[in-house]
Amino acid sequence: MKVYIDGEFLEEAHAKVSVFDHGLLYGDGVFEGIRMYHNRIFKLREHIERLYWSAKAILLEIPMTPADLMKACVDTCRANGLREGYIRLIVTRGKGTLGLDPRRCPKPSVIIIASTIQLYPEKYYREGLTIVTVPTTRNLVNSVNPAIKSLNYLNNILARIEANNAGVEEAIMLNSEGFVAECTGDNVFLVQKGRLFTPPLSAGALYGITRNTVLDCAQSMGIPTAEPNLTRYDVYNADEMFLTGTAAEMVPVVKVDGRVIGSGAPGPVTARLLEAFHERTKVEGELIFD
């Protein structure tokens, strides 16, 4: 595997960063997780745009233009002969001193890993997930805003540990007011009486690329959408529920906190949206090989 680091392609064994990189020392940096389907990088422009927004929010200057960064992602897929899979794009604060002041880090590092992806087992797409709500609340928007896709994922990891301890694959995280924020690596959607709901960004959700794609699919299919605050009561009484994320795509949820959601099987609106989503992944995105 060849890894892109600051303009060079390095063999995996030589692809290393300094122990003084503030990405390691403090989780100071931002990242994206991007999918390739059928020789195209899906929503690459949108991922790059979100990366620059995350960077701006933490006053991190990405040392290349968005166009060059997009090209570097395509080049990394080509260098690895990949037409399907997953790109992990990371910008760290870079090498600094032992002290958290980011001004001590003169040069941010850009790292691009292109690899294959480990998906949820197929049975979860057929049968739906069982999940729980966990005690760890999502970060406050005024602390580490969940809209920033930062290298600081401990909040999510704590929730994931709670999910693991409960024997489930994902966890609903509430915000400090008790409204649904999102899951540890996925956005949350509910279907109720033919309408599609997802929490607003202000509730502590990531501006998910898959979230936006699904909202867009719904709108073009004439399914009404809204982004209200949602409680666990709304979750328990939904007709259908699913999660969205670059890794998961759209995965149905059939049980939450011991309550059966809707019929207890993946629902018809979820199925229609999933089909529309898959159609887009076939034709949209930046071409890898000509």
Minimum distance between the CB of residue 255 and ligand PXG, rounded to whole angstroms?
21
- Across the beta sheet with 85-92, the strand order is 8-11, 2-5, 109-115, 85-92, 29-37, 40-41, 286-287
Catalytic residue of the set 149, 193, 255, 282? 149
| Residue 44 contacts residue 114 (beta carbons within 8 Å) | no
Q: Which residue is nearest to ligand PXG (CB)?
A: 33
| Residue 211 contacts residue 50 (beta carbons within 8 Å) | no
Compare residues 96 and 179 and give the one whose CB is closer to ligand PXG: 179
12 secondary structure, DSSP code? G
Q: Is 170 helix (H, G, I), strand (E, B) or coil?
A: coil
Beta strands in the chain (DSSP E): 2-5, 8-11, 29-37, 40-41, 85-92, 109-115, 129-133, 171-174, 180-183, 187-192, 195-197, 225-226, 240-245, 249-256, 259-260, 286-287
Minimum distance between the CB of residue 51 and ligand PXG, rounded to whole angstroms?
11
Binding residues vs ligand PXG (CB under 6 A): 33, 156, 182, 185-187, 206, 208-211, 244-247
Specify whether 16 is catalytic. no
Compare residues 22 and 211 and give the one whose CB is closer to ligand PXG: 211
Minimum distance between the CB of residue 98 and ligand PXG, rounded to whole angstroms?
28
Minimum distance between the CB of residue 181 and ligand PXG, rounded to whole angstroms?
9
Compare residues 170 and 240 and give the one whose CB is closer to ligand PXG: 170
Question: Whose CA is closest to 51, among 42, 40, 61?
Answer: 61
Compare residues 109 and 244 and give the one whose CB is closer to ligand PXG: 244
Minimum distance between the CB of residue 117 and ligand PXG, rounded to whole angstroms?
8
| Residue 93 contacts residue 60 (beta carbons within 8 Å) | yes
Compare residues 105 and 205 and give the one whose CB is closer to ligand PXG: 205
The Cα 20–Cα 43 span in angstroms is 33
Minimum distance between the CB of residue 271 and ligand PXG, rounded to whole angstroms?
19
What are the backbone dihedrals phi and psi of residue 141, each rounded to the nearest 5 degrees, phi first?
-60, -25
Structure tokens at 202: 């202000």
Compare residues 105 and 150 and give the one whose CB is closer to ligand PXG: 150
93 φ/ψ sector (left φ>0, alpha ψ -120 to 50, else beta): alpha
| Residue positions annotated with a catalytic role | 149
